[in-house]
Structure 1
Amino acid sequence: MWIHLSSKWQQEDQKCREGVPLKDMDWSGMVSQFYMDSSLHGLQYVGQPRRHFVERIFWLLSFGTAVTCATLLILEIWEKYRVTPIITVFQPEATPINLLPFPAITICNMNDVKKSKAVEYQRYNQQHNSNAMAMNMLPSGGILHGRKENAEMRIIKNSTDPHANQDLYMLHHICEASPTFTDFFNLSQKYDSIPENVIEPVRKFRRNLPPGTGWKYGRGVSQVVRDVAQKCKEMILLCLWGGKVHQCSSLFSDIETNFGHCCVFNMVPINLLMNLPNDIRDDKVRITDWDSLNLDTDNMILDNEFTFETEYKQIYGNLPKFPRRQRRPGKKTGLSILLDAEMDDYFCASTDSVGFMALAHLPLHLPDVENKGVPIKPGTETYLKVEPDVITAGPQIKEFSIEKRKCYFGQEYSLKYFKYYTKSNCENECVANVTNLNCSCVRFYMPRSENHHICGLSKRNCTESLLNRLFEDGLEAECPMCLPTCNDIEFKVSSTYAPLRQDIPLWEFKNGTQASWYIFISTCTKFSQG
């Protein structure tokens, strides 16, 4: 019997080796022949006649399992491609620094209100209110609460002048609107604030105003913020750009941010960045130069052939002045400035420390100094190294819908308050709209129309709780339309410092505490989307 079976298997093997016409095979023979001739691993063992049926079943199940797993993996990859067809990869070749814009640099003193301005505002309030009773008056006219226990101070019993009261109330609002870390734990001694017995008559006057005659904040708040803060010419004393001496006023301009009044370098003028506000401080020549560029995030990064600059020179006869670009990496070709903190003139600050807050951002962005700023210590020589991460989009991804690629090209989405679309600007506009919807006002630094009211001190709890909720829950749910741009630059900042020499006088400026500051681009990392 064994010999007979062996002979039968040999005959089957010989048929498999020599081949048999299909017309002479039944269906099982054809299947067996396919298994034997297949290059798929495992199937040939299923078709071999000499294999035990248990072994055949094992290989058949193994093959089926492999096919099932491969199918599941393919479906998973296909679903991933269907949902996110765009991939971002690291681009190994170097990107020349001169193809990138130098970041906009926003610098803010941590002091929101100068002590000299606080004294001036109280004196103005005292001089323009009648029926005042002299009571505990400071010889210097100062209003620093808690500095001297037996200090005398003048208290207004019947405040009647609306302008004087408005200014003092706004000054109080500025100080109270930026709580520090210690304020959250009631640890602050309120040394630098307007005493309650001074501000309470002002509040009483405001409460007694007839309905419909409330104070107009609007520009008034912004003007007070600018007036009581340190001016750019007082903060920034000396400037070097690209290894050449410049007048600081030609490099820096004023701006109001969520951190207060600040100075900014290499940023689009507010009159061009925003659709509605008209800031008279913007230099008209600078506005014209920026406006001639017709910039967006797509042409902010130059190509290797400098096509944009070449075309600009053909039209205007010279290379564009803005955005300023660092021609090669390193400290000498970057921005170097000398800052004065005026530490003796601190009154109320946004932090519990002294010094400056700085931020490097895209020139098209409204700066978010409060959340992303880097502190600068007075009395030091600080080096701020900027490393750009560049994301560029291949032309082929334009064929995908916005829902699939999840990013915008330069002019694909328009904002109401901003002329330039970026994700940051879109989120700022969205937060302003949500704030106005819930609190019937917006904060002074938020984008707005002329019809929007500026939130006063009475709306502080509403805006604070709303902003905390938005940032805790994430802006994606509230602002789903705010997608990133397909071409973008993110600036990563790292800083180091060393103390300034004290054995010799370094500067001719006698008063204040200075800090030297160097900002430069070192290296660039580029990513490509496609």
Structure 2
Amino acid sequence: MKIQELNAKDLQKNKIAVSDEKLENHLNEEQKPSYFNVLCNSFLEYCDYSSIIGLKYLGERKRPVLEKVFWILVFFVLIYAYIYLTLKVWVKWNDTPVIVTFDDKSSPVWKIPFPAVTICSEVKVERSRFNFSRIFSKFKNNETISEKESFNFYSLLHVCDTASANISKKMKSLPSYGDAWKYVRMLDEYGIHYPNVRETFVDCVFKGLSDCNIFYPFLTEEGICFTFNSPNHSSIYREESHLPELADLSKKYFVSNETLDWSLEEGYKKSLSNRDFFPFRTMGAGIKAGLTVELKNFKRDFDSTCRNIFDGFKILIHTPGEIPRLSNKYLQAPMNQQVLISVKPTVITTSKMLKNYDPKSRQCYFENERYLRFFKVYTQTNCELECLTNYTLARCKCVAFSMPRNIETKVCGPAKIGCYKKAEYEVMLEEFQEIEKNPNAETKCNCLPACTSITYDAEISNTKFTYDSNEGSSLTSRNFPYQITALRIFFKENQYLASSRSELYGLTDFLANVGGLLGLFLGISAISLAELVYFVMIRFNFNLFSRKPIESPEP
């Protein structure tokens, strides 16, 4: 019994000791500083030691409340100003990261190619072999036309300006689809210009050498034209769109320099074997260093029913490798005129640092950045033609005979001429409406300029051209049945001033602007930010977990 009483007493003492210990711990916890007190003390401590100017006034314990309210308002105003201006810097950096500036030094013209020149005659066929006006009159008056005359007439409707407008209702009954190869053969065989280039060119002089074989036939919406200093079809089109009629032209007529020794972004190759660079370039400015061409047309062959009232040639100055589109823009060279075209190149390059930006931000495409289905080289003109071709195919179920296409694509016949001409207007209208609704939106074509581009701005003047045998002209009589146009194309100046796209705000510039605004409005530097992180992440937690009990006052 005594042993049991002793064990009970010991157990009771242990329970009392445990209870006293729990009570003591509970009291100690109550005496420790609260989370809020630790937070306040850490903030006051930060205000005392912070390097941010003005913050210490908020931490002074004995200062009047009005002063602290004043500094709080000051901080709110400065923070608002900082955020507002920083957002403006961000918007500028994000939306307009590119700036275009002029180069510090001029560049010589021999660094870039001489412009490509495409010449189209307003006379499409030899009138003695096929009289378009006569057949047009028969067709309009429902007279009988032979099968061969019908085909030739239908072919010419694609390259004549006024015929389709005068007989648009009757054309709906004509064939909807045609054969581009046969169209080209008809223009080739009945044209006054083939197969001998001398039928159009009296003389051609470039860099002091007389040779008209530097021109070769090229298929355009105007029919078969002549192109100088541009690669042939096989170097421009991809294999998918290198069609029989193009291959036929390349095989039938002499075409030189099938490979390019130059690209828009890389320029000319540094070294070559013993041959000239292609595209050709010239060493200076002036007529003697340029291209001189004398063209002729027979008076009897001009047909106003087909080509309206202009008698002469259409001239297009463009970049080598770019598809000539004479329906968009051209220069006129009238007959019996000497036309002087002085060219001033406009060159824009782009810094490689901008490759990290989205094409929409920099507003251009680098080489091989935008793939074209039909063309090997991206240019804005090539892209627009491809977009128009795709739209025309979707709308008309066929494409114009001069448009790029694959073997399976149908070619529009005379009944579809109005359709593919209207499609060109509709594409422009849709592009305009999309940009009008949202200037920052991506359009259907999305044909931005190439990041490296060359355009040739032309100034034209013309005077009457007279034939004088005493001055060595190839013409010995004023009574020749044809008329002459003399064309002189040359660089206006020996040098040009290029432009370059570069970063308006790089990452370093953006950080410098943001840091400058921080220092201006809040007096904050990088070390101040590190100090703030230290007090929030390290010191506050250290103070919170290592807090000591509050000592009770002595009795």
The TM-score, its normalising length taken from structure 2, stands at 0.66
| Matched residue SS, 2:250 | coil
Partner residue of 2:356? Answer: 399
Q: Tell me the CA shift for residue 84 of structure 1.
A: 3.9
Aligned to 1:139: none
More deviation in 332-341 or 64-73? 64-73
Q: How does 1:227-238 map to 2 (within 5 A)?
A: 227-231=189-193, 232-238=197-203
Alignment of 1:276-287 (within 5 A): 276-277=242-243, 278-282=246-250
Indicate the percent of aligned positions where both proteins have the same amino acid: 24
Q: Which residue of 2 aligns with 1:518?
A: 488
**Cα 1:408/1:500, change in 2 over 3 Å:** same
Structure with the largest fraction of helix: 2
* CA shift for structure 1 position 431: 0.9
Sort the Cα spacing of 1:298 and 1:494 in 2 relative to 1 into closer, same or farther, 3 A.
same
CA contact (8 A) 2:159 2:221 kept: no
Q: Give the Cα–Cα distance (whole angstroms) in 2 for the partners of residues 456 and 284 of structure 1.
A: 25
Aligned to 1:129: none
1:365 equivalent in structure 2: 322
Task: Determine the structure 2 residue equivalent to 1:251.
Answer: 214
Which structure 1 segments of 5+ residues have no match? 1-22, 44-52, 123-141, 147-153, 185-189, 208-213, 303-307
Structure 1 residue 496 and structure 2 residue 461: aligned?
Answer: yes
Q: How far 1:292 moved relative to its partner?
A: 6.2
Query: What residue number does 1:309 align with?
Result: 270
2:94 aligned residue (82, 88, 108): 82
Q: Which residue of 2 aligns with 1:325?
A: 281
Q: Relative to structure 2, which stretch is displaced further, 325-334 or 65-74?
A: 65-74
Correspondence for 2:188:
226
1-structure distance, mates of 2:364, 2:254: 31
Distance, in Å, in 2 between the alignment partners of 1:73 and 1:230 is 69
Distance 1:36 1:326, change over 3 A: same
SS at match of 1:256: strand
Q: What residue in structure 2 maps to residue 266 of structure 1?
A: 229
**CA distance in 1 between partners of 2:73 and 2:469 (Å):** 86
Residue 488 of structure 1 deviates from its aligned partner by 1.2
> Residue in 1 aligned with 2:124?
112
1:477 equivalent in alignment to 2:443: yes
Q: Which of 259, 266, 279 is matched with 1:291 structurally?
A: 259
Structure 2 match to 1:167: 152
Report the more deviating stretch, 264-273 or 59-68: 59-68
2:348–2:451 contact (8 Å) kept in structure 1: yes
| Mapped contact 1:415–1:421 kept (Cα < 8 A) | yes
Q: Which runs of 5+ in 2 are unaligned?
A: 1-40, 58-65, 433-441, 503-555
Distance in 2 of aligned mates of 1:215 and 1:283: 26
Q: 1:37 to 1:359 in 2, by over 3 A?
A: same
Q: Which of 344, 356, 359 is matched with 2:300 structurally?
A: 344
SS at match of 2:389: helix
Rounded to whole Å, the distance in 1 between the matches of 2:179 and 2:412 is 8
Corresponding residue for residue 138 of structure 1? none
- The question of whether the paired residues in 2 share the 8 Å contact of 1:259 and 1:350 is answered with no
For residues 474 and 123 of structure 2, the distance between their equivalents in structure 1, rounded to whole angstroms, comes to 24
Task: State the AA in 1 paired with 2:291.
Answer: L
Count of residues in correspondence between the two structures: 433
Cα distance change of structure 1 residues 74 and 342 upon mapping to structure 2, 3 Å threshold: farther
Change (3 A) 1:155 1:425: closer
Paired position in structure 2 for 1:100: 112
C-alpha deviation, 1:89, in angstroms: 1.6
Question: Is 1:422 aligned to 2:379, yes or no?
Answer: yes
Contact 1:218–1:453, Cα closer than 8 Å, also in 2? no
Say which SS state the counterpart of residue 389 (structure 1) adopts: strand
Distance in 2 (CA, whole Å) between partners of 1:344 and 1:285 is 26
For 1:117, what is the secondary structure of its paired residue? coil
What CA distance in whole angstroms lies between the structure 2 residues aligned with 1:273 and 1:35?
66
Alignment-mate amino acid for residue 362 of structure 1:
T
Residue equivalent to 1:14: none
Matched, 1:486 2:451: yes
Shift of 1:442: 0.6
Q: What TM-score does the superposition give when structure 1 sets the normalisation length?
A: 0.69
Whether contact under 8 Å (1:387, 1:525) holds in the other structure is no
Would you say 1:376 and 2:333 are equivalent positions?
yes
| 8 Å CA contact retained: 2:343, 2:456 | yes
- Indicate the residue corresponding to 1:6 in structure 2: none
Assess, with a 3 A threshold, how the Cα gap between structure 1 residues 440 and 73 changes in structure 2: closer, same or farther: same
Partner of 2:344: 387
How do 1:103-252 residues align onto structure 2 when only pairs under 5 Å count? 103-119=115-131, 145=137, 157=144, 162-175=147-160, 178-179=161-162, 216-231=178-193, 232-242=197-207, 244-248=208-212, 250-252=213-215
- Tell me if structure 2 keeps the 8 A contact 1:297–1:409: no
Provide the rounded CA distance (Å) in 1 between the counterparts of 2:183 and 2:99: 46
Contact 1:269 1:286 in 2 (8 A): no
Aligned AA (2:201): I
Task: Give the aligned CA root-mean-square deviation in angstroms.
Answer: 4.3
Closer/same/farther in 2, CA of residues 72 and 227 from structure 1, 3 Å limit: farther
Decide which moves more: 266-275 or 107-116: 107-116
Instruction: Quote how far apart the aligned CAs of 1:501 are.
Output: 3.6
Corresponding residue of 1:47: none
> Whole-Å Cα distance in 2 between the matches of residues 79 and 292 of structure 1?
42
Q: Tell me, what secondary structure is at the counterpart of 2:155?
A: helix
Q: Which has the higher contact order (CA 8 A, sep 6+)?
A: 2
Secondary structure of the equivalent of 1:490?
Answer: strand
Q: Which amino acid aligns with 1:345?
A: D
Rounded to whole Å, the distance in 2 between the matches of 1:319 and 1:61 is: 77
